[in-house]
Amino acid sequence: MTRRFWSNVLAVAYREGLIVRHDPAYLGAVLIQPVMMLFLFGAALSNKPAHVPWGVVDRSRTTAARRLVADVQATGYFLPPRAVAGYGDGRARLREGTLTALLVIPHDFARDVERGHPRVQLLLNGSDPLTSARIGAYVGQVAASFVPGRTSVHAPRAPAIDVRQTFRFNPTLSDSRYFLAGLAGMLLTNLCFSATSGGIVSERENGTFEQTLSLPVSTIEIVLGKCLPHAVVALTLMFLATFAAGLLFGFWPRGSWIMLFVATVPFVLASLSIGVLVSVLAHNSAQSVFITVFFIMPSFVLSGVMLPYQLMPMAAQIAGGVLPLRWYQIAMRRIITRGGGVLDVMVPMLVLWTLFGLLLLAIRWRLKPRLA
C-alpha cells in the first residue's frame, strides 16, 4: 500500500515537474527575485519598542535596587519584570527568546550608590538590533537620572549609574543581520503561494484537470505530487539565499545547515498546501491571484519577519499565529542567529506540521478525487 502510494505521488510529481521545467516565467522569478530581495533587505526599518519582556537578577535585594527596577518599569515600554534565578538562567532565557533584556544588579549596588559609582549590567538580545538599541537607550536614560531615596529637591543628587551593556548574538547591532535571517522565509512564502495557487484552477480553465482526475490516485496523492517539485525548488532557493547572504555579507548560520533544511520542510509543505487550497477554492485564475495576495501581504506584516511580532497588539499577534511564516521565521532566527538546535525549534516545527495536516484535510474535503 505504501509503495503504491508513493508511486502515485511520484507519477503526479513527474507530470508537475515537466510543467515547471517548461515555464520560463516561473524559473526566471525563482532566479531573479532572491537577488533583488537580498540587496533590498539591507535597508533598515525602525520601530518603537512596547511590551518588552525583560528579567532582573537582583543580587542586592535592597530598596535602591527595587527603586531602579520600578523606574525602568515606569517608562511604559516594558512588561512586568520576571525574576531570574541567576546569570546562567537569564542567558538561557535570552537564547530562547523569552526575554529581550536582562538587568543584573550586583551585591554591592547599594554600597556603590553611597560611594558615588553604582554599576549594573544590562544584557540585550542583539538578534533584533533595532529594538535592543532603543531598549538600551531607555534603560540608560533611567540610570542617568536615577536618584535613590531622594526626599528633598535640595538634597544632593546621587551620581548616575554606570550601565555596562552586552549585546548577545549580534554585538555590532547590524540591521542587515536581522532582515537577512528572515529573507529565506519571505522568498519561500512568495514562491510557494504563487507556485501552486494557480495550478488546479488553470487546469480547470484549460480542460486538462480531467486527465489528472482520471488517474488512479487519491486526493492526498494529487496534492503531494503537485507539491513535491516545488518543494525541491524551494529548498534549493533557501540554500542559495542563505549561502549568498554568507558569501556577500559574511552572515553565515551559527547553527547546523541540516537543521535549516529540517525546519524548512514543514514550512514549505504548509505554504504549498495553502496555495493548493487557494487553487481549489478559486473559480478562475484572476480570483486565485487576488486570494494569494491576500495571504502574502498579511504573512509579511504579521509574521514578525519584517517587524518584531512581540511588539504588535495582541490581536495582531493572534492573527499572525495561524500563518506558517510566523513560526518559520522564529525557527530560522533561532538557528541562524542564535545557533539553536532541535529543542530550540521543536515547537515551531510541531506547529508547522500541524498546519500542514489541517490544510491537507481541508483540501481533501473541498477537492473531488473523481469526475462528477
**Tens of pLDDT along 78-136?**
889 998 888 888 888 888 878 889 999 999 888 888 887 888 889 988 776 767 777 88
Give the residue, 299 or 257, on which the prediction is more confident: 257
For the chain, the domains span 2-41+182-366, 54-173
Band (31; pLDDT cuts 50, 70, 90): low
What pLDDT score does 151 carry? 40
For residue 42, the model assigns a pLDDT of 43
Nearest by Cα to 58 from 106, 122, 91: 106
Fold of 54-173: abc type-2 transporter like fold (3.40.1710)
pTM, whole model, 2 decimals? Answer: 0.67
263 vs 297, more confident: 263
What's the mean pLDDT in 317-327?
90
What is the distance between the alpha carbons of residues 354 and 220, in angstroms, rounded to a whole number? 16
Q: Which of 184-188, 193-197, 318-322 has the lowest mean pLDDT?
A: 193-197
Average pLDDT over residues 357-365: 89
Question: What is the residue type of 347?
Answer: V
What pLDDT was estimated at residue 48? 59
Handedness of CA 135, 136, 140, 146 (dihedral sign): positive
Average pLDDT over residues 30-46: 51
Q: How far is CA 76 from CA 58, 128, 133, in A?
A: 21, 20, 17
Confidence of residue 156 (pLDDT cuts 50, 70, 90): very low
Residue 268 exposed, middle or buried by CB count within 10 Å (0-12, 13-18, 19+): buried
* φ, ψ at 97 (rounded to 5°): 90, 5
Per-residue pLDDT at 132: 79
Beta-carbon contacts of 50 under 8 Å, excluding residues fewer than 6 positions away, are 76, 77, 311
Q: Is 128 helix (H, G, I), strand (E, B) or coil?
A: coil
Residue 56 or 131, more confident = 56
Q: How confident is the model at residue 46 (pLDDT cuts 50, 70, 90)?
A: very low
Residue 194 above 90 pLDDT?
no
Q: Is the pLDDT of residue 159 over 60?
A: no
Contact 156/113 with Cβ under 8 angstroms?
Answer: no
Q: Could you write out the DSSP letters of every residue in 206-235?
A: HT-HHHHHTSS--HHHHHHHHHHHHHHHHH
| C-alpha distances in Å from residue 282, one per residue of 85, 203, 291, 319, 369 | 54, 12, 8, 23, 17
* Residue with grid cell 534549493, as numbered in its chain: 236
Checking if the pLDDT of 27 tops 80, the result is no
CA distances from 302 to 28, 66, 325 (A): 28, 36, 9
Comparing 23-32, 115-124, 234-243, the range with the smallest average pLDDT is 23-32
Compute the residue count for the chain: 372
371 pLDDT exceeds 90? no
Decide if pLDDT at 328 tops 90. yes
